[in-house]
Structure 1
C-alpha cells in the first residue's frame, strides 16, 4: 500500500536505502513509532551527512535519542510532529518542526498541501506538541470506546446513550469514531506508549495512555481490513478475555463472609526461590 501511494504521488523508488541516501540532501522519517530509532541507526550506519527530519509520533526523549544517533554520524537533526489527516487538501495538515535548521526544512514545503511550522525551541519541542495533541485525540477515542464496551457488558448502553443525548450530545457520535480508526489501531499502540513515556518523564501519571495502548492492542485483528468494522465487533474485541458476568446467585455467594484463612509464612530465602 505504501509503495502504491508513493508511486501515485510521483515519488521515485531507488531500490535501496543506500542509493536513496546517496541521492538525498534531506531524509524525512515517517514510520510507526516503534521503528523510529532503528531507522535512524540504519541511516547513521550509511554515514548520511544531510538533514535528518524525524516526523514520527515519538516522545521528546526518544526524539532527542534519534537526534544524538544521526548527529554522531554527521547529519543535522530536525524534530518534527505531524498533526492532521493525509495532506490531500491544503490547510488541514501541519508539520511542526524544531531544531536549528527547521526554517530550511519548512521552506521545502512552501506552496504544498502540508503546512510546515517552525517552532521556537530545541529538538523535542515538536514531538512534545504532537504528544500533547494526540494524548487527547487518540487517547479520548480509546477512552470512549472502552466506555461503550463497559456499558454494553453491563447492559446499560441504551441508557447511557440517552443520557449522553441529553447532557453530552456530541458523545454518541464521537464514541463511534473507533470503528473508522480500528484498522489503524496497530500503529497507535506504540504512539500511546510513547505518550505514556512523555507523561512519566514529566513526573505525571503514565497510566492513562498505557491503558489506551492496551485498548488499541486488542484491536490489532482489524489491521488492513476492508470496510470499517461495526461498533459491536470493536467492543467485542475489546472485551475478549473478560470474565463472564456473575448471576445474582453467584454474586450473593461471592459476597458471603468467608472463614479467615491461615496465612502462610515463609523465610525470605524460600519465598525468593518460589518467585524465581
Structure 2
C-alpha cells in the first residue's frame, strides 16, 4: 500500500506524522518535521513529566490516546527503548484494529534485525505496512550531524518526509537492514565509551589520569572529541545503552558468531546505568564528573567474594591522589 493511499488530504500536502513517543529523540524528530511544515501528533498518556515537557517544547499536538494518534496519522514513528519496541508495536496494532486505520508504521528504535523482523511479522498479520529505520546522531545535533537509515518495501516513500531537513539513506527493500546497520554503528560508539571508561578508571586508581588524558588528546584528538560529546549522555542514558548493547549481542549471535568485546562492553555500561548520578546540573554533566562518579561508585571493584585486604580497590584508592577539575572540565590530579 503506497503512502499516498494513506492520506485523506491532497497528495501535494505533506502527510500527518504520528510520534510514539516524544522522548528525547522522538521530540527532536517531531520538532524537525514540525518546522518543515508537517502536522505532527502524539500522545503523552502514561508518559513521564519530562516527556510531557519535551513534547510541549517541540510544539507537537498532543492527543488524548494512541487510538487518536493512529486515527490522525498517515505515518507513525516509534521512538522508544529497545525493551519497549515490541510492546509499542503491539499497542499500535491494537489501535489500528480498533480504529480500522491502516497506516504506515516505522520502527526507528535501537533493536536487532531479529526484533525488527518480529515487529514486521506482527504488522503483516494485520495487513499493515512497515519500514525499518535507524537514526544515527545525538538528538541535539540532528540537523547538523544526523542521518536516518531506512529499509523495507516502502523505504523510498518514507525518505522524502525528512528531506531536506535530515539526511536520509535507503539501505534496500529488506526489513532488518537498517536495524543491522544501527547495531554495527552503535556497537562501535558504545564499545569505545566502555573501553575509554575502563582505562580512565584504571588510570584514576593508579594516579595517572591527567597524564593519560593529555596523551589521548595529543595522539587521538578526533576520538577524544567524540568521547567528550558522548560520555556526558551516559549519566542519564547508560541503562538504555546497556539494553541497546544487548540487542547488538543478539544481532551477532543471529549470524552464528560469538560476541566477545560487545558482551564485556554491555556488562560495564549496564553497571554504569546502576550508578546514582543524581539530578543533572543546569549545564549538564561533564566527562570529568561522569568518570569521578563512576570511580566513587567502585565501578571496577571486583566481586566482594574475590576482594582481599591487600588488593581491594578501597585500599588502592586511599593512596591515590584526589581529583580536581580544570577550567575545561578535564580531570586533574592534586596532591
Task: Quickly name the TM-score band, shorter chain normalised.
Answer: 0.7 to 0.9
RMSD: 2.6
Deviation at 1:235, TM superposition (A): 3.0
Counterpart contact for 1:64–1:123, Cα < 8 Å: yes
Aligned counterpart, 1:257: none
Normalising by structure 2, we get a TM-score of: 0.66
Normalising by structure 1, we get a TM-score of: 0.79
1:4 is the counterpart of 2:61? no
Aligned counterpart, 1:272: none
| SS class of match (2:111) | coil
Q: 1:161 to 1:35 in 2, by over 3 A?
A: same
1:140 is matched with which residue: 174, 192, 195? 192
2:83 is matched with which residue: 34, 58, 61? 34
Q: 1:149 to 1:27 in 2, by over 3 A?
A: same
Aligned counterpart, 2:253: 200
Q: 1:180 to 1:39 in 2, by over 3 A?
A: closer
Q: What CA distance in whole angstroms lies between the structure 1 residues aligned with 2:278 and 2:116?
A: 27
Aligned counterpart, 1:130: 182
1:116 is the counterpart of 2:165? no
Q: What CA distance in whole angstroms lies between the structure 2 residues aligned with 1:129 and 1:210?
A: 18
1:228 is the counterpart of 2:290? no
Deviation at 1:150, TM superposition (A): 2.7
Aligned counterpart, 1:268: none
Q: 1:132 to 1:37 in 2, by over 3 A?
A: same
1:216 is the counterpart of 2:265? no
Q: What CA distance in whole angstroms lies between the structure 1 residues aligned with 2:103 and 2:145?
A: 29
Q: 1:98 to 1:45 in 2, by over 3 A?
A: same
| SS class of match (2:63) | coil
Deviation at 1:184, TM superposition (A): 1.6
Structure 2 counterparts to residues 1-276 of structure 1, below 5 A: 1-46=50-95, 47=97, 48-86=101-139, 90-111=143-164, 113-158=165-210, 160-161=212-213, 164=216, 168=220, 177-220=230-273, 221-222=276-277, 225-226=280-281, 227-228=284-285, 230=289, 231-237=291-297, 239=299, 241-242=301-302, 244=307, 247=310
Q: What CA distance in whole angstroms lies between the structure 2 residues aligned with 1:192 and 1:219?
A: 13
Counterpart contact for 2:116–2:132, Cα < 8 Å: yes
Q: Which has the larger radius of gyration?
A: 1
Residue-by-residue CA offset, 1:1-57 (whole Å, 9 max, x unaligned): 222222222211101111111111211001011100111111112225211100000
Deviation at 1:189, TM superposition (A): 1.4
